[in-house]
């Protein structure tokens, strides 16, 4: 049961699409005005767990931390950093009381969850205009499902987007992409798609291609399609200010850019130099931006990632003096650049304006919705441009954006802590309606190791978005660059053998408003021992993943809340053994994976394939000791989704 309490005149975020009755009084929390801000407080009980705030640092249980919803382009993924790229203002209190609460405001919100042992949840909203949704339910799982249903049906990618993707900041020409395809084919490692990072563009300009390095993009897309590989270009938020740039000219004609205080267009320095930001809050501007994707779809492209949409700003007119000089020096000496100081960024965010619902909004006050509305613009545009599904994922997001596309979790590092962080983000993202999600496998910053990449792949094998991505100054990170590619083949092929299950479970979750990845405690709420387990996750209805995420380890201990079937995959066969409730030690060498199947559940697996185009829905083996499995299978492309596609396997 969801109700909403309205404070002031909230901005329409469209985070929730269900009709929600209005309540007079806020339950659970106390409200106080704190100057121009609003403070919400709740006294925690000793054993309460607090879920939510999906794209933040720290644990799945947010207790003990301070988090700030203020979308930020930051590669500092350490616990002292309160803000990453997204704002998902959901809390679920699980303990003495059970409820969810969603602070629906695009302005800055600070959350202190038993911070410095205060014993309180303190939520400070910078704006007094907001909707607060309160969600009552008998369990945290029920509360999360209730919220997902109220958000509305989550984004459904094509089947090929569940295949493995390779990416790197630095693939510069057609040959770089051919090399990737060849590398994977020679090693026999499955692959479905390759990302094109900003290097494909003409001088980093959106909706353009460097003609020297990609003389005929449409023909190249076709060439790749013959290998069953899709190209997935990046699109940044800022549009280069340059007469002759057709997107810039169209944006001016359509009056689609954000304006500054003086009524001119706001200028922000990003990768292509000076840009204007499309006013994604304005429906007309969104419609225009969506149409621009025709540039790619006409060339046969069906997948995209949206970046820099917090929005990131390297430099602006409001930053005079040395910073400006730095910018030009940086432009000359490679792209190395100093991050804008936070103070300057705030000044920039206070210097431009949006038009929505016949009103003018200062960017700073609606900051956290910007990236989400870029995703919406792209998604609604692509829906018109393409007759079938497309891949779309974004760096910045807000609750509700999960209806339009997926998310990746930004510039992590090649370290074991961030592999664990990936595991922690997954259930939390699912609670907030982001089912198609994942991290940069192998790590974005720094040099990965063979061992880290293999262990990371064995985690990503279970996340809907499985993409190996790295930065421009790091070592080669494609799987075939390492010795002993057999082990990489083994782990990536595990993903492809699990595809019938993963796809089917994703579709069922998406069509019923369920979560795809859940914490153990959501399924076994009565078992005290699972309350703190964050390195075992439930994937779909039947799998408990139990990856090894410690350097040098080949064993780990696993807690089983019930009798299950242990499954070990060695690259060729699945070996099933009954495992008893309690703590067991499992062993998985590099190139192997161990997971469990819940009691009474089945998991369909297919034969080994190297591309989603080879998926075989007929010859499935059912793992697990249960009875039947309800398989969702369709062509993976049309939008005629329906639970009528379910069929029972025995």
Which residues belong to the active site? 307, 310, 411
Binding of ligand MIG by 598 (CB under 6 A): no
268 or 544: CB nearest ligand MIG = 268
Alpha-carbon distance of 636 to 468, in angstroms, equals 22
The residue to which tokens 């153990």 are assigned: 520
Contacts of 18 (CB under 8 A, 6+ apart): 2, 149, 150, 151, 152
Under 8 Å between Cβ of 129 and 105? yes
Binding of ligand MIG by 418 (CB under 6 A): no
| Cα 29 versus chain centre, distance | 30
Alpha-carbon distance of 137 to 145, in angstroms, equals 10
Q: What are phi and psi of 198, to 5 degrees?
A: -55, -15
Q: Which residue in the set 279, 365, 411, 541 belongs to the binding site for ligand MIG (CB under 6 A)?
A: 411
269 or 400: CB nearest ligand MIG = 269
With CB atoms as reference, the residue minimizing the distance to ligand MIG is: 169
424 or 469: CB nearest ligand MIG = 469
Q: Least distance in Å: CB of 342 to ligand MIG?
A: 17
Binding of ligand MIG by 197 (CB under 6 A): yes
Q: Least distance in Å: CB of 419 to ligand MIG?
A: 17
- The bridge status of strand 164-166 relative to strand 193-196 is parallel
Q: Which residue in the set 88, 240, 395, 455 belongs to the binding site for ligand MIG (CB under 6 A)?
A: 395
Binding of ligand MIG by 307 (CB under 6 A): yes
Alpha-carbon distance of 81 to 67, in angstroms, equals 8
Binding of ligand MIG by 509 (CB under 6 A): no
Binding residue count for ligand MIG, defined by CB under 6 A: 9
Q: What are phi and psi of 102, to 5 degrees?
A: -125, 115
410 or 547: CB nearest ligand MIG = 410
Q: Least distance in Å: CB of 172 to ligand MIG?
A: 13
Q: What are phi and psi of 135, to 5 degrees?
A: -120, 120
Binding of ligand MIG by 273 (CB under 6 A): no
Nearest to 12 by CA among 308, 376, 329: 376
Buried b (16+ CB within 10 A) or exposed e, 41-80: bbebeeebbbbbbbbbbbbbbbbebbbbbbbbbbeebeee
Q: Least distance in Å: CB of 364 to ligand MIG?
A: 22
Structure tokens at 301: 């492209």
Q: Least distance in Å: CB of 646 to ligand MIG?
A: 36
144 or 465: CB nearest ligand MIG = 465
169 or 617: CB nearest ligand MIG = 169
Q: Least distance in Å: CB of 305 to ligand MIG?
A: 8
Q: Which residue in the set 410, 427, 500, 604 belongs to the binding site for ligand MIG (CB under 6 A)?
A: 410
Binding of ligand MIG by 330 (CB under 6 A): no
Binding of ligand MIG by 567 (CB under 6 A): no
| Cα 276 versus chain centre, distance | 25
Torsional sign, CA 605, 609, 614, 619: negative
The residue to which tokens 């782990």 are assigned: 491
Tally Cβ neighbours within 10 Å of residue 341: 11
Alpha-carbon distance of 316 to 301, in angstroms, equals 33
The residue to which tokens 């914490």 are assigned: 519
Binding of ligand MIG by 169 (CB under 6 A): yes
Task: Map residue 646 onto helix, strand or coil.
Answer: strand
103 or 314: CB nearest ligand MIG = 314
Q: Least distance in Å: CB of 613 to ligand MIG?
A: 27
Q: Least distance in Å: CB of 155 to ligand MIG?
A: 19
Binding of ligand MIG by 478 (CB under 6 A): no
Nearest to 398 by CA among 72, 76, 6, 71: 71
Q: Least distance in Å: CB of 280 to ligand MIG?
A: 19
Nearest to 48 by CA among 111, 88, 99, 123: 99
197 or 478: CB nearest ligand MIG = 197
Q: Which residue in the set 68, 180, 196, 234 belongs to the binding site for ligand MIG (CB under 6 A)?
A: 234
Structure tokens at 162: 């569940």
Q: Least distance in Å: CB of 176 to ligand MIG?
A: 14
Binding of ligand MIG by 108 (CB under 6 A): no
Q: Which residue in the set 53, 180, 198, 633 belongs to the binding site for ligand MIG (CB under 6 A)?
A: 198
Supply the DSSP string of 74-134, one letter for each residue: ----STT----SEE--EEEEESSSEEEEEEE-SS-EEEEESGGG-SEEEEEES-S-EEEEE
Task: Map residue 275 onto helix, strand or coil.
Answer: strand
477 or 546: CB nearest ligand MIG = 477
474 or 536: CB nearest ligand MIG = 474
Total residues found in the chain within this entry:
650
Cis peptide before 352 (omega within 30 of 0): no
Summarize as ranges the residues that interact with ligand MIG (CB under 6 A): 169, 197-198, 234, 307, 395, 410-411, 469
């Amino acid at each position: 049961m969801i109700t909403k309490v309205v404070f002031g005149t909230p901005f329409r975020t469209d985070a929730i699409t269900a009709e929600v009755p209005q309540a007079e009084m806020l339950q659970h929390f106390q409200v106080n005005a704190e100057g121009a801000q609003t403070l919400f407080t709740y006294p925690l009980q000793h054993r309460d767990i607090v879920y939510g705030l999906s794209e933040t640092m720290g644990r799945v249980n947010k207790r003990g931390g301070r988090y700030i919803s203020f979308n930020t382009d930051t590669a500092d993924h350490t616990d002292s950093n309160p803000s990453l790229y997204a704002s998902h203002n959901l809390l679920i209190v699980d303990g003495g009381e059970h409820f969810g609460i969603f602070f629906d405001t695009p302005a800055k919100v600070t959350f202190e969850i038993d911070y410095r042992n205060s014993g309180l949840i303190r939520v400070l909203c910078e704006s007094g205009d907001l909707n607060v949704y309160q969600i009552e339910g008998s369990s945290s799982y029920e509360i999360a499902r209730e919220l997902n249903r109220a958000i509305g049906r989550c984004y459904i990618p094509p089947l090929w987007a569940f295949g493995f993707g390779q990416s790197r900041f630095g693939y510069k020409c057609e040959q770089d992409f051919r090399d990737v395809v060849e590398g994977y084919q020679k090693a026999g490692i499955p692959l479905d798609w390759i990302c094109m990072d900003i290097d494909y563009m003409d001088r980093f300009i959106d909706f353009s291609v460097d003609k020297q390095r990609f003389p005929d993009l449409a023909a190249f897309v076709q060439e790749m399609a013959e290998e069953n590989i899709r190209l997935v270009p990046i699109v940044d938020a800022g549009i280069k200010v340059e007469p002759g740039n057709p997107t810039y000219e169209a944006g001016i004609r359509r009056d689609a850019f954000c304006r500054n205080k003086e009524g001119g267009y706001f200028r922000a320095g990003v990768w292509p130099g000076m840009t204007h930001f499309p006013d994604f809050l304005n429906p007309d501007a969104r419609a225009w931006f969506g149409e621009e994707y025709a540039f790619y779809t006409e060339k046969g492209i069906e997948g995209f990632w949206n970046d820099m949409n917090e929005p990131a700003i390297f430099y602006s007119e409001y930053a005079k003096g040395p910073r400006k000089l730095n910018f030009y020096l940086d432009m000359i000496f490679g792209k190395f650049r100093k991050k804008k100081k936070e103070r300057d960024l705030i000044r920039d965010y206070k210097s431009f304006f949006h038009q929505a619902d016949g009103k003018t909004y200062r960017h700073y006050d609606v900051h956290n919705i910007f990236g989400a509305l870029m995703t919406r613009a792209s998604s609604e545009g692509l829906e018109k441009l393409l007759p079938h599904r497309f891949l779309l994922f974004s760096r910045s997001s807000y609750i509700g954006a999960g209806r339009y596309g997926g998310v990746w979790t930004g510039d992590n590092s090649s370290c074991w802590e961030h592999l664990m962080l990936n595991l922690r983000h997954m259930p939390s993202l699912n609670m907030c309606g982001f089912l198609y999600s994942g991290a940069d496998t192998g790590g974005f910053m720094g040099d990965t190791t063979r061992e880290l990449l293999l262990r990371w792949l064995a985690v990503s094998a279970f996340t809907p978005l499985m993409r190996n991505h790295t930065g421009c100054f790091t070592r080669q990170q494609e799987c075939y660059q390492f010795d002993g590619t057999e082990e990489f083949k083994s782990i990536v092929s595990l993903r492809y053998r699990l595809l019938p299950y993963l796809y089917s479970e994703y579709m069922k979750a998406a069509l019923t408003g369920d979560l795809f990845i859940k914490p153990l405690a959501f399924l076994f709420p009565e078992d005290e021992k699972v309350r703190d387990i964050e390195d075992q996750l439930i994937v779909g209805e039947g799998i408990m993943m139990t990856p090894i995420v410690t350097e040098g380890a080949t064993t780990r201990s696993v807690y089983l809340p019930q009798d299950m079937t242990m499954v070990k995959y060695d690259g060729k066969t699945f070996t099933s053994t009954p495992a008893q409730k309690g703590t067991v030690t499992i062993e998985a060498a590099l190139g192997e994976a161990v997971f469990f199947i819940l009691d009474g559940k089945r998991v369909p697996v297919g034969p080994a394939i190297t591309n989603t185009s080879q998926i075989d829905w007929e010859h499935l083996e059912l793992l697990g000791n249960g009875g039947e499995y309800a398989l969702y299978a369709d062509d993976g492309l049309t939008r005629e989704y329906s639970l009528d596609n379910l069929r029972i396997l025995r």
